[in-house]
Amino acid sequence: MNTLIVGGGIMGMSIALELAARGDRVTVLEKAVPGAEASSAAAGMLAPQLEAHGAGPALTLGLESRKLYPAWVRRIEQLAGSGTGYRECGVLRFGPPEALAPVYRWQRELGLNVEQRDGALFFPDDHQVEPPRLMRALAGAAAKAGAQVRSGQVHEILPHAVDLGTERLEADAVVVAAGSWTSLVKGARVSPRALQPVRGQLVELHCRLSPFDETRTDGTVYLVSRGDGRVVCGSTMERTGFDKRVTASGIAGILNRAIALAPQLEHAELHSSWAGLRPWTEDELPIIGEGPMPGVHLATGHFRNGILLAPITAALISRRLHGEATGVDINPFRFDRFPT
Ligand X SMILES: Cc1cc2nc3c(=O)[nH]c(=O)nc-3n(C[C@H](O)[C@H](O)[C@H](O)COP(=O)(O)OP(=O)(O)OC[C@H]3O[C@@H](n4cnc5c(N)ncnc54)[C@H](O)[C@@H]3O)c2cc1C
Contact string (CB under 6 A) for ligand X, positions 37-76, x = contact:
xxx-xxxxx-------------------------------
Query: What's the rounded Cα separation, in Å, for the pair 92 and 50?
Result: 9
250 binds ligand X per the rule CB under 6 A = no
Contact string (CB under 6 A) for ligand X, positions 8-27, x = contact:
xxxxx---------------
285 binds ligand X per the rule CB under 6 A = no
Residue 40 is which amino acid?
S
CB < 8 Å & 24+ apart, contacts of 238-244: 238/198, 238/199, 238/200, 238/201, 239/196, 239/197, 239/198, 239/199, 240/197, 240/199, 241/197, 242/180, 242/181, 242/197, 242/277, 243/199, 244/199, 244/275, 244/276, 244/277
Name the residue nearer to ligand X (CB basis): 71 or 101: 71
Name the residue nearer to ligand X (CB basis): 107 or 183: 183
Q: How many residues bind ligand X (CB under 6 A)?
A: 44
- Taking contact as CB under 6 A, which single stretch among the options 5-13, 95-103, 206-214, 256-264 is the one that binds ligand X? 5-13
Q: Which of 80, 138, 307, 317 binds ligand X (CB under 6 A)?
A: 307
Q: Which of 305, 315, 316, 318 binds ligand X (CB under 6 A)?
A: 305
Q: Which of 5, 7, 52, 251 binds ligand X (CB under 6 A)?
A: 7
Query: What's the rounded Cα separation, in Å, for the pair 256 and 259?
Result: 5
87 binds ligand X per the rule CB under 6 A = no
Q: Which of 179, 187, 289, 291 binds ligand X (CB under 6 A)?
A: 179
Query: What's the rounded Cα separation, in Å, for the pair 300 and 148?
Result: 20
Q: Which of 93, 226, 297, 302 binds ligand X (CB under 6 A)?
A: 302
Name the residue nearer to ligand X (CB basis): 10 or 92: 10
Q: Which of 73, 306, 314, 320 binds ligand X (CB under 6 A)?
A: 306
Q: Which of 49, 84, 107, 235 binds ligand X (CB under 6 A)?
A: 235
Taking a C-beta distance cutoff of 8 angstroms, is the pair 279, 323 a contact?
no
We find the least distance from the C-beta atom of residue 111 to ligand X, in angstroms, to be: 23
Q: Is the peptide bond before 14 cis (omega within 30 degrees of 0)?
A: no
Provide the terminal-to-terminal Cα distance of the chain, rounded to the nearest Å: 30
278 binds ligand X per the rule CB under 6 A = yes
Taking a C-beta distance cutoff of 8 angstroms, is the pair 162, 6 a contact?
yes
Q: Residues 19-45, buried b or exposed e (16+ Cβ, 10 A)? A: bbbeebebbbbbeeebbbbbbbbbbbb
What separation in angstroms does the CA of 50 have from each of 127, 129, 190? 10, 15, 29
Q: What is the total residue count of the chain? A: 340
Name the residue nearer to ligand X (CB basis): 109 or 291: 291
Query: What's the rounded Cα separation, in Å, for the pair 74 and 277?
Result: 28
142 binds ligand X per the rule CB under 6 A = no
Chain residues binding ligand X by CB under 6 A are: 6-12, 29-32, 36-39, 41-45, 153-154, 177-181, 185, 200, 202, 234-235, 276-279, 300, 302-308
